[in-house]
Amino acid sequence: MEIIKVKDSDELGKKAAEIVAAKIKEQNESILGLATGSTPEKMYANLIEDYNAGDLSFSNTTTFNLDEYAGLASDHPNSYRYYMDHNLFNHIDIEKQKTYIPNGTANDLEAECTHFEELIKQTGTIDLQLIGLGLNGHIGFNEPGTSFDERTHVVRLKQSTRAVNARFFPSLNDVPKLALTMGIATILEAKQILFLVQGEHKADILKKVVHGDVTEDVPASVLQTHPNVILLTDIDI
Ligand code: F6R
């Protein structure tokens, strides 16, 4: 794992955007894996700036998001589709039909997961996958205890994850109990992973992820086994 230390969230957003932009420029038809949450917000803002400055085009880019809440429609302000549209897609020249996010309102969620996996396979290998870190060590919505062999699947969110994410919802009760997530086996197939971890509150879990045992109790620890991971963080580890 290559570790790049940054001084704060601004520098993290800038550096992460530079890495993503370089990938898009280097590879004509790139496939990106994207994440939501607080951590990548500044990175997306920087990518929009690059696009507005005429330095970057997403017209040949395809994206696959890691996860989505079950039961939230695309126009629900807490759905990850809404997040992606508002934080990135609506502001750049990407073709919306090439931005894939699991459909949280599908009638058959299991079938939707299988369909999402098939879409990735048909499109090719993800060139660069962004990953954030949950306080309990989750990546995507792969909660502690998830098998490293899982592919895209339906997950029951841990109470702790729902509590952390409640900050985006009117109340804890409004946070969905189920979600769809790319599995760890799917994530590990990406050619390169950009792992973004920001804030002292994540110091203890990040130390376990980087220096601890590789264990399903700490899902992100599996990143130690991937040959091409860049960790961008403002934490001393
Ligand atoms: C979001 C995702 C989650 C977040 C993680 C950290 O698509 O996959 O695993 O990356 O929960 O979230 P923030 O960045 O809000 O601390």
pLDDT above 90 for 38: yes
The whole-number pLDDT of residue 179 equals: 98
Which is the closest atom of ligand 1 to the Cα of 140?
8
The tens digit of pLDDT for each residue in 122-166 reads 999 999 999 999 999 999 999 999 999 999 999 999 999 999 999
Q: Would you state the structure tokens that stand for residue 62, as one six-digit string?
A: 């395809």
The whole-number pLDDT of residue 125 equals: 97
The whole-number pLDDT of residue 194 equals: 98
In 10 A of CB 136, how many CB atoms? Answer: 16
Q: Which helix (H) or strand (E) holds 204?
A: helix 203-211
51 C-alpha vs ligand 1 centroid, how far in Å? 24
Which residues are CB-contacts of 186 (< 8 A; sequence separation ≥ 6)?
A: 117, 120, 151, 152
Helical ranges in 63-165 per DSSP H: 80-87, 109-123, 159-165
Q: Would you state the structure tokens that stand for residue 135, as one six-digit string?
A: 């306080």
Asked whether 127 and 192 are in contact (CB, 8 A), the reply is: yes
Protein residue with least CA distance to atom 11, ligand 1: 134
The tens digit of pLDDT for each residue in 152-211 reads 999 999 999 999 999 999 999 999 999 999 999 999 999 999 999 999 999 999 999 999
DSSP annotation of 180 reads: E
136 in active site:
yes
Q: From the CB of 202, is ligand 1 less than 6 Å away?
A: no
pLDDT above 90 for 48: yes
Q: Which helix (H) or strand (E) holds 211?
A: helix 203-211
The tens digit of pLDDT for each residue in 8-36 reads 999 999 999 999 999 999 988 999 999 99
The whole-number pLDDT of residue 30 equals: 97
The CATH number given to whatever domain includes residue 113 is: 3.40.50.1360
The whole-number pLDDT of residue 88 equals: 98
Protein residue with least CA distance to atom 2, ligand 1: 140
The whole-number pLDDT of residue 86 equals: 98
Q: What is d(CA 84, CA 95) in angstroms, rounded to the nearest whole number?
A: 13
Mean pLDDT, the chain, as a whole number? 97
The whole-number pLDDT of residue 28 equals: 83
142 C-alpha vs ligand 1 centroid, how far in Å? 11
Q: Which amino acid is at 19?
A: I
Average pLDDT estimate for 88-113: 98
Domain housing 64: 2-233
Domain count, the chain: 1
- Cα dist. 81→3, 10, 76, 113, 140 in Å? 30, 24, 8, 16, 14
179 C-alpha vs ligand 1 centroid, how far in Å? 13
The residue from 46, 50, 67, 165 that is catalytic is 67
SS3 per-residue string spanning 14-74: HHHHHHHHHHHHHCCCCEEEECCCCCCHHHHHHHHHHHHCCCCCCCCCEEEECEEECCCCC
